[in-house]
Amino acid sequence: MGPLLPSRDSVVKANRIPSEIYAQIFSHLQESDPPSFIQEYGDPEKLHLGWLYVTHVCQHWRSAALAQSRLWTDVPFLLGSAWTKEFIRRSRTAPISFNCDLYNGVTEATRASLNVAGMITQSLSRIQKLRIVARTDDIASIIPSFRGAAPILEKFALENVATIQIDHFGRPPLLPVDLFRQSAPRLRSLEALRFNFAWSSLVFDNLVELRLSRAESDNVGLTPQPQNLQHVLNALSKMPLLEVLVLRGVLPVTDLSEVENVASISLPNLRSFELSGDGLSCILALLRINTPPTTNYTVHFKYVLINRYSRELFLSWFTSRARALLPARTLTVGVWETNFSITWEPFTAPQDTEDPDLITHVSEDGRPFFDIQFHGFAQAHSYIELESFCNALALEKLETLTVNLDDAPQVSWNAQRWSAIFGRCENVHCLEVLSSYPAGLFQALTTENPIEGRSGPLFASMQLLGLESIDFEQNNLSESLLAWLTLRKELAAFQCLEFTDCTAPKDVIRRIRDQVRQVYWEGDRIEPPPNKTAGFEAPMSVD
């Protein structure tokens, strides 16, 4: 890199531009071209300084960049210790951000040269955002630097890449009991991946987002303070502003004897709640944490590993949540070999939802919906449990239903099972089914609904039926389909039939067109023949 051009060029018109304008330009360049490692045409990676090259164009540009402390507040670590210290110095007293990835973001030589703990300790009073990603052994040396006060810290993220365990027992590192001296009044977001901690150490009054995760292989080990579910709830109760709460594998194991002793708390602002881990602990957390009816839930635990009493507790929670909502408008049911899921969209999104990151699940039209998955089932049990949970939903006003049995090829529901689960769906207009064995569905659609107080066939109001991933050339399904369509036309005709990823003989497609007003094959409409005697060719191969 050549020497800077001398200041005798100050008469050039470009040099009359105020430094503030240059700073604005450099700021945009900083976002689009940060320092990074680049690799071209198979060559070894090399360091690219990015926007920093502007400080070496001429003296005027350099002075303009150095005069603006805000250009130096995003402190890089991949450039090495000298550059890191220089950024801190040039930022003067402005709030700074540390984004330090010691696992993927630096070379081994750079990692060895950095004194991350020392830099954090010296600068903690003006760090606004702090993110550390490192291996367990590196993290252990950095943790003590988190014991000072952090008066302007707003976001703290810590990830332990546990390729090397800190001891022979697989215990993740322990966060300080006096994290930030419990003095971080502006802290709004805290994330810790694969750490042990005392729940009381994580209490910060203004937290809006709390994300805590541990792997199944992590050994929790001993902590300086007792850890049971009540301690978890006590800590959460002191953070009433929480809007996003993620607890993956961090709840302490709970015994049935503790059920009656766990007091309830309220999180009135919670918008998104993700929970996984010990089954009973998850269930009690759901029961004891009161949230608004609009809270989005993502819940994962091995349902079959909990006892019957715990299952009843969970079903009671599910039922209470479902009944607190407006009737479901759209429902998706999926059954796999070892689990099943229920997804429903009950209501319109609140108008004051401004931050899309605070919504765990949002449908294509912007409405929030609820997704619950149940893992660990044998197929014989899936149907029984699925029926219990669907019965908790108000299906009478349901308009759109999707049933996905495609990933469970051995699942074959008879007509009675279809009716038992979906017999109350009297207002469904759109039905989509993915199934290897649809014969039971065809029978249910052409026989009287056995549910008390219902008349007509199943899905009597259906106007559109979508069939996906079905081989009608097997087991004489094509003839069954034609027979069913003839009966259905007499009982409760519908308007449209759509086929996606299906196989069927060409002559069957021709005959289907005589029974249904509109037929679509892979998105293309099958037009009726000019007259009944004329030949008909489908617009594409249906073999």
In a domain, 330, yes or no: no
Nearest to 247 by CA among 201, 212, 294, 284: 212
Q: What is the pLDDT of residue 22?
A: 79
Distance, in Å, from the CA atom of 292 to the CA atom of 461, rounded to the nearest integer, reads 34
Taking residues 333-360, report their average pLDDT.
57
Is the confidence at residue 479, as pLDDT, over 60? yes
**Confidence label for 224 from pLDDT (cuts 50, 70 and 90):** low
Confidence grade of residue 63 (pLDDT, cut at 50, 70, 90) = confident
Q: Which residue has the higher pLDDT, 378 or 438?
A: 438
Q: How far apart are CA 51 and CA 34, in angstroms?
A: 6
CB atoms within 10 A of CB 499: 22
pLDDT at residue number 361: 37
Identify the pLDDT of residue 171: 79
Q: Residues of the chain with pLDDT > 90: what percent?
A: 37
**How many domains does the chain fold into?**
1
In a domain, 314, yes or no: no
pLDDT number for residue 533: 39
Pairing of strands 496-500, 289-290: unpaired
Q: Which of 405, 411, 434, 430 is nearest to 501 (CA)?
A: 434
Res 79: pLDDT: 85
Q: Is the pLDDT of residue 187 over 90?
A: yes
Kindly state the percentage of the chain with pLDDT values over 70: 81
**Between these two residues, 218 and 454, which has the higher pLDDT value?**
218
Lowest mean pLDDT among 93-102, 351-360, 377-386: 351-360
Residue that wins the pLDDT comparison between 303 and 93 = 93
Mean pLDDT for 416-428 is 90
Interacting residues of 446 by C-beta distance below 8 A, sequence separation 6+: 457, 484, 487, 488, 491
Q: Copy the structure tokens of residue 134.
A: 């490192």
How sure is the predictor about 101, in pLDDT bands with cuts at 50, 70 and 90? very high
Question: Does residue 251 have a pLDDT over 70?
Answer: yes
Rounded CA separation 492/426 (Å): 12
**Residue 366: pLDDT band with limits 50, 70, 90:** very low
Average pLDDT of the residues in 345-373: 46
- 492/460 Cα distance (integer angstroms): 6
Can you give the pLDDT at residue 449? 77
Query: Which band of pLDDT confidence, cut at 50, 70 and 90, is reported for residue 15?
Result: low
* Alpha carbon distance 300, 306 (integer Å): 13
Q: Give the per-residue pLDDT at 111.
A: 87
Handedness of CA 349, 354, 359, 365 (dihedral sign): positive
- Looking at per-residue pLDDT, the higher value among 121 and 65 belongs to 121
pLDDT at 354: 40
pLDDT at 1 over 60: no
pLDDT at 356: 33
pLDDT category at 152 given cuts 50, 70, 90 is very high
pLDDT (average), residues 419-445 = 90
- Whether residue 220 is predicted with pLDDT greater than 70 in this model: the reply is yes
**Within-domain flag for 296:** no
Task: Name the nearest CA neighbour of 478 among 454, 453, 511, 447.
Answer: 511
Residue 21, domain member (yes or no): yes
pLDDT in tens, 386-410: 888 888 888 888 899 999 887 666 6
Q: Which residues contact 243 (CB under 8 A, 6 or more apart)?
A: 208, 209, 269, 270, 271, 272, 358
Q: Which residue has the higher pLDDT, 463 or 21?
A: 463
Does 270 score more than 60 pLDDT? yes
Q: What is the 3-state secondary structure (H, E, C) of 90-148?
A: HCCCCCEEEEEECCCCCCHHHHHHCCHHHHHHHHHHHEEEEEEEEEHHHHHHHHHHHHC
pLDDT at 371 over 80: no
Q: How far apart are CA 372 and CA 163, in angstroms?
A: 32
Q: For residue 14, what is the DSSP state?
A: G
Residue 22: inside a domain, yes or no? yes
Relative to beta strand 339-345, strand 330-335 is antiparallel
Residue 284 CA to residue 501 CA, distance in Å, equals: 43
Residue 362 bridge partners (DSSP): 368
* Residue 364 pLDDT exceeds 90: no
For residue 359, what pLDDT band results from cuts at 50, 70 and 90?
very low
At 540, the pLDDT band (50, 70, 90 cuts) reads very low
Average pLDDT over residues 144-148: 97
Q: What is the pLDDT of residue 531?
A: 55
Q: Is 369's pLDDT higher than 70?
A: no
- Contact, 197 vs 185, CB < 8 A? no
Range of the structural domain that residue 25 is part of = 1-72
pLDDT at 506: 82
Confidence band for 344, pLDDT divided at 50, 70 and 90: confident
User: What confidence score (pLDDT) does residue 127 get?
Assistant: 97
Q: What pLDDT, on a 0 to 100 scale, did the predictor assign at position 341? A: 81
Residue predicted with more confidence, 225 or 414: 414
Q: Does residue 417 fall inside a structural domain?
A: no
Q: What per-residue confidence (pLDDT) applies to 348? A: 44
Q: Is 36 a residue whose pLDDT tops 80?
A: no
Q: How far, in Å, CA of 125 to CA of 127, rounded?
A: 6
In a domain, 3, yes or no: yes
pLDDT of residue 249: 93
Q: Please report whether residue 12 resides in a domain.
A: yes
Query: Picking from 99-108, 222-231, 492-501, which range would have the lowest pLDDT averaged per residue?
Result: 222-231
**Residue with structure tokens 């209470």?**
320
Mean pLDDT taken over the chain: 82
CA–CA dist 381, 339 (Å, integer): 10
